[in-house]
A and B are shown apart, each in its own frame.
Chain A
Amino acid sequence: MGQYAVAQTLPGGRTMRVGSQDELSLLREADATVEALRREGSLLVRKRSIDPQLADRTHERLVQVHRGVPVFGAELTRQADQGATVSIFGTLYDGLTLDTTPALSPTEAAAVFDDLAQSGRRMTEPRLLVLPAREGVDTDRLVYEARVFTGARLMAYFIDATSGEVVWSYDDLKTQQPRLPCQQCTVGDGLGVKSDRKKLSVTTVGGAFLAHDRLRPADVFTFDLRGDWVRTLAVLDGGAQLFDADLAADADNDWLDGASVDAHVGMGWTYDYLFDRFGRQGLNAENVRMISLVHPIDRSDVFTAPPELVGIFHLNAFYCGVCGPDGVGLAVFGEGLPPNVLLGGRRVGYFSGALDVVAHELAHAVTDFTSALIPLDESGALNEAFSDIIGVEVEHYAEPFFRDGAGVADYLLGEDVIEPGGIRSLPNPQQFGDPDHYSLRFLGLNDNGGIHTNSLIATHAYYLAIEGGTNRVSGLSVTGVGATNREQMEQVFFRAFTNFLTPLSTFSDARAATIQAARDLYGVGSTPEAVVIQAWNAVGVL
């Protein structure tokens, strides 16, 4: 694919990463290649959208197909200015020769997935894909893919389309924090929860007040599962439906359940943030409804519930992209621990009590509807990083809306849930043992390849780009645009992550994409562009 095609860590994968930082000839060559592939039917336009940030700009997402079958993770984003291509980012695979006639029918594949689900439930219909060779997958394979909810995990399974054997899998449950290897080292956790007054947009039905926000263009629902974890599991795997009777409710409209209040308000404020900052109409830009579940389990169940349920329903929050009515996603906010039970000496409160956690989970939905960064390895770390950035920024955005001393904005994640401290620190990743430099990235298999811990490499760069500072490892300094100009970095990163990144993007892609975004928004040679470059250099992403 020419010199713009740079080999990355994915075997056989070719990353296109050309933009206004490159020579025009490279861009034209890349564009011609894309056009050629599109004409021959190897690239299909998945989505076209108008740029909400810049006039006359449009964005395309093109997916690679091999003999009519989509290639897993192979996707390009192409930005155009009045029809002229400005940038192309994404990953394609060369040299695919695979026969795409499956031996298994979709029905037979579904039976295999159903077996894998065991007591759980298959959440999606089998989808025929070409799975290119990658770590753990020795050669290109024709596979069926489906999501299976197993109770504590949302597994993406890839089975051979001929033999039905499991070729590859990963956990697709986007959690607030990593699933921990043991209960003792859980860092879980944190009116609302802090007795601070908030306004809720609710609906009154038959004299009762229900947590259904109909004032915002997207319906926002907060369901209270009242500690019934059996029912929670049934709701998640689609075995039980949600009704109005499940909505968090109040008799006199003076809401006292902090977990419900903060979940409901936090979702609304996240919607407002996306709209105010980026003109985005909700999670999918088309005002898809937003749903959260609170009280998925009773706090007292912490001593009796299966350990994996404690991990996700007590000590975590997560976003399930295929759960809920219509299968377009919902967020679940953990219950925390009883007040007299500490975790590593720290209290674990209701997870919805932390606005950054709420926004973090909803940002996973934004990712699902845009870049679809696969929650694995570097793309997974970027997925988590984007959610942390949105979490932090919604907290800053909403700081003036808080009362009674709550909602102090900072660069910590989950500090209002797991007290004292939180779970991640963007200024000082080392505080929680996370890497602050690319050279220190986690290379093991835990946590889908350390996606939560490695996310700090990107979010630390983001922090430095705003506040400035010196990276501990590299010793490189970043000027920073300053807190008063933080919106510049918000715009740059949001643009890059939602418009330019693709499912298999790497840290280097994120670097190139954010530089491109800075140039788009503020011009070549602008201060934001220089700051972005400095920040990535400082954390060792080149």
Chain B
Amino acid sequence: MSRLVITIRTARRLLLGALALFAAPTLLGDVAFAQGRPTERITARIDGGWRPAARTFVGTTTFEAFSELGNFEADYEIRQGVVIDGGISFLLWRNLAVGLDVSSYSSINPARLNTELPHPFFFDLPRTSSGVAGGLRREELGVHLRALWVTQFNDWLVVSFSGGPSLINARQDLVSAVRHREVGFPFGDVLFEGHSQTTQSENALGVNAGIDVDAYVLHRIPGLSGIETMRQVGLGVLFRYVSGSADLQVGDSPISVDLGGLQVTTGIRFRF
């Protein structure tokens, strides 16, 4: 089971950020919008950003103890995390371009563990324990092939819409075992002491879609205006949604774990 969570606060931040990006040129005095073809053929970018969405998935692991089967359920929470993203695109014809991006996401996450541990004396009378396994890393390295429709509104504002397939390599730390300490007779309770973990890696195909808003306004900033190459350098914000899933062996059974999600990055743009 997975779920996508975007908080209202996060959405508001994203909206305000986008408005600010559009408002900046306005404040600089140039408000003329005229849709047109891009003037440059190659665009490259380097971004840093955030994946605001959180996801969860659950895996149940069965083990043998005291001549009986016990199990623990690990409820993994994949939290917001840092995204590093970069790419390059080539204008092919009119407004149509192709691009190739690479993104890297990582986060350190917890899993809530609920264990049913068999009783040493009795069948079918498990003891239960709860605990948290921390320090579980999720890493996603995505390669995103994009087809872009690039619109240049004026000499400094370029907006592109993109979409295409993604190849995602996911690495996920999973809880492989739980450790408990017996309190003692009558063995009604156990104390959760810790966990062991293993790392799984899986490749998956997905899709991506995004909007990239770029503003080439650095040359208008006092102090940079004399530098001609600054006309080729801009700032941009990319909203991209990546959807994919990987079949990980989580506990006893393979589980389709959602990858990607909405990511918002901002960074520097170069056009040639």
A residues contacting B by CB (< 8 A) are 197-199, 201, 215-217, 268-269, 272, 275-276, 400-401, 403
Contact, CB under 8 Å: A199 / B186: no
Q: A199-B66, A201-B120, A215-B185 are in contact. List 6 more A-B contacts (CB 8 A).
A: A199-B120, A199-B121, A217-B185, A268-B121, A275-B186, A276-B186
A400 → B minimal CB distance (Å): 7
Residues on B with C-beta less than 8 A from A268 are 121
Contact, CB under 8 Å: A199 / B185: no
CA distance A401 to B68 in the complex (A): 13
Contact, CB under 8 Å: B121 / A201: yes
CA distance A269 to B67 in the complex (A): 17
Residues on B with C-beta less than 8 A from A272 are 121, 186
Contact, CB under 8 Å: A199 / B125: no
A199 → B minimal CB distance (Å): 6
Which residues B120-176 have CB closer than 8 A to chain A? 120-125
Q: A199-B66, A272-B186 are in contact. Are A215 and B122 (CB under 8 A)?
A: no
Contact, CB under 8 Å: A197 / B123: yes
| In the complex, B33 has a CB within 8 A of chain A | no
CA distance A118 to B144 in the complex (A): 98
Contact, CB under 8 Å: B122 / A401: yes
A262 → B minimal CB distance (Å): 14
| In the complex, B22 has a CB within 8 A of chain A | no
Interface size counted on chain B using CB atoms at 8 A? 13
* Dominant SS among interface residues on chain B: loop
B169 → A minimal CB distance (Å): 45
CA distance A199 to B124 in the complex (A): 11
Q: Report, nearest first, the 4 A-B pairs whose CB atoms are least far apart.
A: A401-B122, A217-B185, A403-B123, A199-B121
B residues contacting A by CB (< 8 A) are 66-68, 119-125, 185-187
Number of A-B contacts (CB under 8 A): 34
Residues on A with C-beta less than 8 A from B119 are 199
CA distance A400 to B126 in the complex (A): 13
CA distance A272 to B67 in the complex (A): 20
A53 → B minimal CB distance (Å): 18
Residues on B with C-beta less than 8 A from A197 are 123
Contact, CB under 8 Å: A199 / B122: yes
CA distance A201 to B122 in the complex (A): 10
Residues on B with C-beta less than 8 A from A199 are 66-68, 119-123
Residues on B with C-beta less than 8 A from A276 are 186
A209 → B minimal CB distance (Å): 12
Q: What are 28 of the A-B contact pairs (CB < 8 Å)?
A: A197-B123, A198-B123, A199-B66, A199-B67, A199-B119, A199-B120, A199-B121, A199-B122, A199-B123, A201-B120, A201-B121, A215-B120, A215-B185, A215-B187, A268-B121, A272-B121, A272-B186, A275-B185, A275-B186, A276-B186, A400-B122, A400-B124, A400-B125, A401-B122, A401-B123, A401-B125, A403-B123, A403-B124
- Closest B residue to A287 by beta carbon equals B185
A256 → B minimal CB distance (Å): 14
Q: A199-B121, A400-B125, A401-B122 are in contact. Are A216 and B185 (CB under 8 A)?
A: yes
Residues on A with C-beta less than 8 A from B67 are 199
- Closest A residue to B68 by beta carbon equals A199
Residues on B with C-beta less than 8 A from A401 are 121-123, 125
B126 → A minimal CB distance (Å): 13
CA distance A272 to B188 in the complex (A): 12
A46 → B minimal CB distance (Å): 29
CA distance A516 to B119 in the complex (A): 38
CA distance A400 to B123 in the complex (A): 9
CA distance A475 to B124 in the complex (A): 44
- Closest B residue to A216 by beta carbon equals B185
B124 → A minimal CB distance (Å): 8
CA distance A275 to B184 in the complex (A): 14
CA distance A275 to B120 in the complex (A): 16
